[in-house]
């Protein structure tokens, strides 16, 4: 592999396996979305895609590894809204989202659910708000580390309710959900791509979805607005990235393969069952992802500063 220099850079691409890096644990929502699109993308590209989990520090470890990888199209990063919150949360991030990556395209925007261990006392979102205000020092809130989507949603919950809770970080919300089902942690905010199964099977308690509209596959779950906490609104957009310097011909081939995968009926059906959907075809382009990332970097820097959270 490796890109040849000059105009035909990337012409023979791909001629070896491609690694898709997931910056969170296997079995979590980021991993699930990646494995959904990897198969049809591999078919379109005519190469094998190997999914590799590179956990740690709310997704920033994996993102940093891809920023420093060979810009030859054989290392691709799947990341989400955390790409736009990390700069406001980490003093020494080690990469610059807009400069150290080429954008491939947007993938999907996933709703979040507020879920709790089955026998947690509160039965509604309003009761949860009342309960945490009275028991802030005893309640544990799981997330996938500072910079994770679950961390951001937890931050929004704490600033909306004016409480500071004990946060329990995991390497991904896959393992966090296991502990929630086991009753080891009280509640968390996590994506429908991870929580839908446990909600439907009654293994966790669900209070609301964090989107303006209800989620079709979880019709009984009220929105946070209906449940009286309209400030808690966030959905987790995902994008594919390669290291800056990757030849444009390679970026285009990856973007085309992404567009094809998101038009695959199997992917559309799998996503619908897990409460989400592919982005429209026009958002699978490099420009669409760059525009989204630029806008989100500004949005979350302000929200995080207003919440009084300092980069650490
Ligand atoms: C997150 O909270 O950022 C992700 O859901 C973590 C994961 O994909 O495991």
- The ipTM, to two decimals, is 0.95
Share of the chain above pLDDT 70, in %: 98
Task: Provide the sign of the torsion angle of the four alpha carbons 84, 90, 91, 96, taken in this order.
Answer: negative
What's the pLDDT score for residue 3?
A: 47
| β-strands 166-169, 140-143 pairing | parallel
pLDDT band at 10 (very low <50, low <70, confident <90, very high): confident
Report the separation in Å between the CA atom of 143 and the middle of ligand 1, taken as the mean of its atom positions.
8
Once rounded to an integer, what is the mean pLDDT over residues 241-247? 98
* Residue 44: partners with Cβ closer than 8 Å, 6 or more residues away: 256, 257, 260, 261
- Higher-pLDDT residue of 9 and 52 is 52
Ligand 1 atom closest to Cα of residue 147 = 3
Query: Does 28 sit in the ligand 1 pocket, CB within 6 Å?
Result: yes
Does the pLDDT value for residue 127 go beyond 90? yes
Half-sphere exposure (Cβ direction) of 150: Cα atoms closer than 13 Å? 35
Q: What is the 3-state secondary structure (H, E, C) of 135-199?
A: HCCCCEEEECCCCCHHHHHHHHHHHHHCCCCEEEECCCHHHHHHHHHCCCCCEEEEEHHHHHHHH
Of 21, 25, 28, 190, best ligand 1 pocket probe by most atoms within 8 Å of the beta carbon: 28
pLDDT one-digit tens code per residue, 27-66: 999 999 999 999 999 999 999 999 999 999 999 999 999 9
Ligand 1 atom closest to Cα of residue 172 = 9
Does the pLDDT value for residue 6 go beyond 70? no
pTM score over 0.80: yes
Once rounded to an integer, what is the mean pLDDT over residues 127-154? 98
What's the pLDDT score for residue 9?
A: 83
What is the CA angle 48-100-89, rounded to 5?
110
Query: Does 210 sit in the ligand 1 pocket, CB within 6 Å?
Result: no
pLDDT one-digit tens code per residue, 175-212: 999 999 999 999 999 999 999 999 999 999 999 999 99
Ligand 1 atom closest to Cα of residue 82 = 3
Does the pLDDT value for residue 1 go beyond 50? no
Q: Are 79 and 106 in contact (CB under 8 A)?
A: no
pLDDT band at 8 (very low <50, low <70, confident <90, very high): confident
Report the separation in Å between the CA atom of 250 and the middle of ligand 1, taken as the mean of its atom positions.
28
Of 30, 115, 157, best ligand 1 pocket probe by most atoms within 8 Å of the beta carbon: 30
Strand extents, DSSP E, 7-155: 18-22, 49-53, 75-80, 101-117, 140-143
User: Would you give the DSSP letter of residue 55?
Assistant: -
């Amino acid at each position: 592999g490796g890109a040849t220099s000059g105009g035909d850079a990337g012409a023979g691409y791909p001629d070896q396996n491609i690694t898709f890096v997931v910056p969170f644990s296997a079995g979590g929502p980021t991993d699930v979305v990646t494995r959904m699109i990897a198969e049809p993308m591999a078919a379109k590209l005519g190469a094998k895609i190997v999914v590799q989990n590179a956990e740690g520090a709310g997704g920033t470890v994996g993102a940093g590894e891809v920023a420093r990888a060979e810009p030859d199209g054989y290392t691709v990063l799947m990341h989400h809204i955390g790409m736009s919150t990390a700069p406001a949360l980490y003093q020494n991030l080690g990469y610059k989202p807009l400069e150290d990556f080429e954008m491939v395209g947007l993938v999907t925007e996933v709703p979040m659910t507020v879920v709790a261990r089955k026998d947690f006392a509160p039965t509604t979102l309003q009761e949860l708000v009342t309960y945490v205000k009275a028991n802030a020092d005893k309640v544990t809130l799981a997330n996938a580390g500072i910079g994770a989507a679950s961390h951001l949603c937890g931050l929004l919950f704490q600033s909306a309710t004016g409480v500071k809770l004990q946060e329990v970080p995991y390497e991904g919300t896959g393992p966090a959900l296991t502990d929630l089902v086991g009753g080891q942690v009280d509640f968390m905010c996590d994506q429908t791509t991870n929580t839908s199964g446990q909600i439907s099977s009654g293994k966790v308690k669900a209070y609301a979805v964090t989107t303006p509209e209800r989620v079709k596959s979880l019709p009984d779950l009220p929105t946070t607005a209906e449940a009286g906490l309209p400030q808690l609104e966030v959905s987790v957009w995902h994008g594919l990235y390669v290291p800056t310097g990757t030849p444009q011909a390679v970026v285009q081939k990856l973007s085309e393969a992404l567009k094809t995968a998101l038009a695959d009926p199997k992917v559309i059906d799998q996503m619908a069952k897990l409460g989400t959907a592919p982005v429209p075809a026009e958002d699978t382009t490099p420009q669409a992802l760059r525009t989204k990332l630029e806008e989100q970097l500004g949005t979350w820097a302000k929200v995080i500063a207003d919440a009084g959270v300092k980069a650490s």
